[in-house]
C-alpha cells in the first residue's frame, strides 16, 4: 500500500487567524475589530512580517489534522517523537495482526537477494503471529470452560465463538496483546495527527531534510503540499533547514544544498 496523506480538517481561514493574532500584538486594535481590514493582501503582509521577524508564536493559533496511512511502525515511531502534536494510532491490541500489510523499503525491493530474505522472514512472522494468537485464545477457552472444547486450536475457537461471541472477542483482544510482540517494524499502521502551524514548520525543517529516513520524508513532503494548498503564505518558506542558511547537519551534510533549495523554492 502506498503512503497516503489526507488533510482531514484545519482551522477555518488559517492565514487570517494567524494574522489576527499578529495584528493584536502590533496594533492598538481591540478584539471586536481585530478582523477589520484583513483582506488577502494585508493578511499576506502580516505573515511575511512574522517570518522576517522570526516571530513564530502567532502561527500556533492555526492547526491542521492529517490522516496518514500506508506507513510502517518504524515510520510512526519517528513521527510521534514530535511531541507538540496530538496522535491517535491504529491499535495492534484491538486490530487483528493477520490483517496488516507490510512496507518494503525501495532498496530491498530493488535487490533480489535481499527481497527474498525479507519476504521469507515476513511470512514466518505472519504465520507465527496467527499460531501464537490462536494458541493463546484456545488456552483461555480451556481455562474458562474446564476443557469442554476439543480439537485443534482453530476448531476450539470456532466452536466457542459460535456459542459465546462476546467472551470470544475478549479472549482474542487479550491474546493480541502478547501476539503482537512478534510483529515487525514493517507492519503498516494508520494514524491521525494534529499539529499547529509552528510545530509543522519545525517538523518540515527536520523531516524534509535529505538525510531524513526516506519514508518519513515522503510523509513530510505530502503534508507540506497539502498545507500549501490551503495556506500558501503561511508555509511558503517551509522545507529543510538548509533553504535559508548553512546545513545544520555539519559533517553529516548530504552536500546537496543547491538541489534542495531548487526543489523547495
Please list the active-site residues.
207
d(CA 36, CA 42): 10
Torsion sign across C-alpha atoms 249, 223, 42, 60:
negative
CB within 8 Å of 91: residues ≥ 6 apart: none
Per-residue burial over 53-70, b if 16 or more Cβ lie within 10 Å, else e, is eeeeebbebbbbbbebbb
Task: Please calculate the CA angle 236-80-82 and round it to the nearest 5 degrees.
Answer: 45
| C-alpha atoms less than 13 angstroms from C-alpha of 58 in its C-beta half-sphere | 24
Closest by CA to 234, choosing from 24, 60, 82, is: 60
DSSP-assigned states of every residue in 114-178: HHHHHHHHHHHHHHHHHHHHHHHHHHHHHHHHTS---SSHHHHHHHHHHH-HHHHHHHHHHHHHH
Amino acid at each position: 500500500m502506498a503512503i497516503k496523506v489526507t488533510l482531514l480538517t484545519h482551522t477555518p481561514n488559517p492565514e487570517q487567524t494567524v494574522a489576527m493574532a499578529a495584528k493584536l500584538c502590533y496594533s492598538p486594535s481591540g478584539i471586536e475589530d481585530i478582523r477589520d481590514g484583513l483582506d488577502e493582501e494585508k493578511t499576506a503582509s502580516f505573515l511575511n512580517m512574522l517570518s522576517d521577524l522570526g516571530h513564530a508564536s502567532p502561527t500556533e493559533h492555526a492547526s491542521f489534522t492529517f490522516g496518514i496511512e500506508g506507513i510502517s511502525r518504524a515510520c510512526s515511531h519517528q513521527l510521534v517523537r514530535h511531541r507538540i502534536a496530538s496522535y491517535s494510532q491504529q491499535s495492534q491490541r484491538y486490530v487483528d495482526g493477520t490483517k496488516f500489510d507490510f512496507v518494503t523499503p525501495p532498496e530491498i525491493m530493488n535487490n533480489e537477494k535481499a527481497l527474498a530474505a525479507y519476504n521469507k522472514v515476513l511470512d514466518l512472522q505472519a504465520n507465527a503471529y496467527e499460531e501464537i494468537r490462536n494458541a493463546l485464545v484456545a488456552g483461555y477457552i480451556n481455562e474458562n470452560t474446564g476443557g469442554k472444547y476439543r480439537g485443534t486450536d482453530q476448531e476450539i475457537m470456532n466452536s466457542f465463538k459460535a456459542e459465546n461471541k462476546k467472551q470470544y472477542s475478549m479472549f482474542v483482544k487479550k491474546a493480541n496483546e502478547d501476539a503482537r510482540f512478534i510483529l515487525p517494524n514493517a507492519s503498516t499502521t494508520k494514524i491521525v495527527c494534529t499539529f499547529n502551524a509552528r510545530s509543522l514548520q519545525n517538523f518540515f525543517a527536520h523531516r524534509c531534510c535529505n538525510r531524513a529516513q526516506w519514508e518519513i520524508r515522503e510523509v513530510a513532503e505530502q503534508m507540506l503540499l497539502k498545507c500549501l494548498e490551503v495556506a500558501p503564505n503561511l508555509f511558503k518558506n517551509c522545507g529543510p533547514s538548509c533553504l535559508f542558511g548553512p546545513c545544520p547537519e555539519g559533517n553529516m551534510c548530504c552536500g546537496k544544498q543547491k538541489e534542495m533549495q531548487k526543489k523547495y523554492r
